[in-house]
């Protein structure tokens, strides 16, 4: 008799979760981006989760032997990875395709990785990872629409957003001083800062314009980040906290874009089918090793597929 899952469906027929994890490409002094170092080992990895929240990691080489030890109520999580160039243009070109059904992905930038087997009904979770400065992991809660005043890895600017004089006035009245996190990010990336015009006028507003008019200036992830961080701390990932400032650079840019495209793909402004999250990691060994970051990503994915993702994805 075949194994049966918690919903009374033969285990062989239970739809696996599909998760895409992105890291960034080369940037500044990083010939290999620390985020990609942590993400790459997860390509074509399978995690197994059961109804009791007990988990086992199954890699693609040992999947048969270890999977056989689970005889009931199990569900697999298929992980795929993608390297994204550190440019505004590439983010805008790539991210909408990640949320298509089936997804549309660019060719892999890493020739060592096999092709991704794309889920016809889309990814259940898209987990973005990027590098920040020295310090703990930061699980980001919100992406921002405007304020991208730093050049990307190729020296290019974010798109100029055309606004009316009234909108500009309203925006300036509500504009706050940069947060401490954003000031640190600007200092770290000072070589990419856009110099203001020599005549002293305000720099143009940059960020998301055409095609994103209907989306708010901030989009929060639907994932309960505080609960996720609490779970990670309990499971041994102590150096992590939640953040409301993803830095107004490429990390923030891809996060906002992905959150918006998730809502667009679902056709609803208030609810998404594909969940989206962003994690900032430090440079290698400052203080976390690449292996520690990879492990934190695994634990996050397992928890998310057992809670936030599981609650909205059908069983078949």
pLDDT, one tens digit per residue, over 191-234 is: 555 555 555 667 789 999 999 999 999 999 999 999 999 999 99
Which residue did the predictor score with more confidence, 39 or 172? 39
Q: How does pLDDT run across 29-60, given as a tens digit for each residue?
A: 899 999 999 999 999 999 998 754 444 444 55
- Note the pLDDT of residue 108: 85
Q: State percent of the chain over pLDDT 90.
A: 62
pLDDT above 70: residue 84: yes
Residue 193 confidence (pLDDT): 57
pLDDT in tens, 146-166: 999 999 999 999 999 986 554
pTM of the model: 0.82
**For the segment 270-297, what is each residue's pLDDT rounded down to a tens digit?**
556 899 999 999 999 999 999 999 999 9
Taking a C-beta distance cutoff of 8 angstroms, is the pair 41, 33 a contact?
no
Check residue 111 and give its pLDDT: 80
**CB count, 10 Å around CB of 17?**
24
What is the pLDDT at residue 146?
97
The Cα–Cα gap between 288 and 283 comes to 8
Specify the pLDDT at position 96: 98
């Amino acid at each position: 008799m075949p194994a049966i899952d918690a919903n009374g469906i033969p285990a062989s027929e239970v739809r696996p979760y599909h998760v895409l994890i992105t890291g960034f490409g080369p940037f500044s002094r990083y010939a290999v981006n620390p985020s990609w170092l942590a993400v790459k080992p997860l390509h074509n990895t399978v995690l197994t989760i059961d109804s009791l929240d007990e988990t086992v990691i199954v890699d693609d080489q040992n999947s048969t032997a270890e999977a056989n030890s689970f005889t009931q109520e199990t569900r697999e999580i298929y992980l795929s990875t993608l390297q994204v160039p550190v440019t505004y243009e590439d983010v805008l070109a790539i991210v909408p395709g990640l949320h298509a059904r089936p997804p549309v992905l660019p060719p892999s930038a890493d020739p060592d990785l096999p092709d991704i087997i794309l889920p016809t009904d889309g990814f259940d979770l898209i987990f973005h990872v990027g590098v920040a400065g020295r310090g703990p992991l930061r699980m980001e809660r919100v992406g921002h629409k405007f304020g991208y005043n730093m050049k990307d890895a190729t020296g290019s600017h974010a798109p100029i957003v055309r606004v009316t004089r009234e909108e500009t006035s309203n925006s300036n009245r509500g504009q706050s001083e940069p947060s401490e996190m954003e000031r640190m990010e600007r200092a770290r990336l000072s070589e990419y800062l856009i110099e203001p015009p020599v005549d002293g006028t305000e720099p143009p507003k940059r960020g998301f314009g055409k095609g994103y008019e209907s989306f708010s200036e901030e989009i929060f992830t639907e994932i309960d980040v505080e609960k996720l961080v609490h779970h990670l701390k309990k499971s041994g990932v102590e150096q992590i906290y939640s953040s409301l400032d993803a830095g107004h650079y490429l990390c923030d840019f891809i996060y906002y874009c992905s959150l918006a495209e998730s809502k667009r793909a679902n056709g609803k402004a208030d609810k998404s089918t594909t969940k989206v999250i962003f994690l900032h990691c430090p440079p290698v060994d400052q203080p976390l090793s690449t292996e520690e970051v990879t492990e934190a990503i695994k634990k996050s994915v397992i928890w998310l597929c057992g809670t936030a993702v599981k609650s909205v994805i059908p069983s078949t």
